[in-house]
Amino acid sequence: MIERRRAAKLGAVVLGMVLALTVSGCQKRIKGTIQVKGEKQVAFAEMAKISLADAVNSATQSYPGKAIKAELLNLDGYLVYETEIVTNDNTVMDVTVDAGSGTILKTEPGKSGRD
């Protein structure tokens, strides 16, 4: 009886670990239009085809509100603007905008109250 319980607990632990690894590996990778290979961050502004203001405008068209943060960076090997928007209903959204086309590549709920 004790061995059966121990085996059931071990099976539950293993199943939980497999599920956690599967879920973390399922995050969708983005695919932008400007590949970043070995370029330094100072070159990013010159590489971008749209301005930071255009990226914020694109994000707030999809999620009306106010931008509280935006930066140009390398994500999954592509040049993107990561923006943080406080929507008109006071939710925070993280919106990833392609630095080449202005297309929204990814959105996800933001963590309110973070620095």
Token output for 52? 């930071």
Residue 20 domain-assigned?
Answer: no
Decide if 67 contacts 84 (C-beta within 8 A). yes
Residue 22 domain-assigned?
Answer: no
CA end-to-end span of the chain, whole Å? Answer: 52
Residue 81 domain-assigned?
Answer: yes
Residue 49 domain-assigned?
Answer: yes
Q: What does the pLDDT look like over 33-79, one tens digit per residue?
A: 999 998 999 999 999 999 999 999 999 999 999 999 999 999 999 99
pLDDT confidence of residue 111: 81
Helices (H), ranges, 1-115: 2-25, 44-47, 52-62
Residue 17 domain-assigned?
Answer: no
pLDDT confidence of residue 25: 45
Q: What φ, ψ does residue 82 adopt, rounded to 5°?
A: -100, 120
pLDDT confidence of residue 104: 98
How far is residue 108's CA from residue 23's CA, in Å, rounded to a whole number? 16
pLDDT confidence of residue 4: 61
**Helix (H, G, I), strand (E, B), or coil: what is residue 114?**
coil
pLDDT confidence of residue 19: 37
Q: Check residues 41 and 3 and name the one with the higher pLDDT.
A: 41
Token output for 9? 């607990």
Q: Check residues 111 and 104 and name the one with the higher pLDDT.
A: 104
**Closest among 112, 53, 51 to 87, alpha carbons compared:** 112
Q: Could you tell me the CATH number of the domain that includes residue 81?
A: 3.10.450.40
User: Is residue 21 pLDDT above 80, yes or no?
Assistant: no
28 band by pLDDT with thresholds 50, 70 and 90: confident
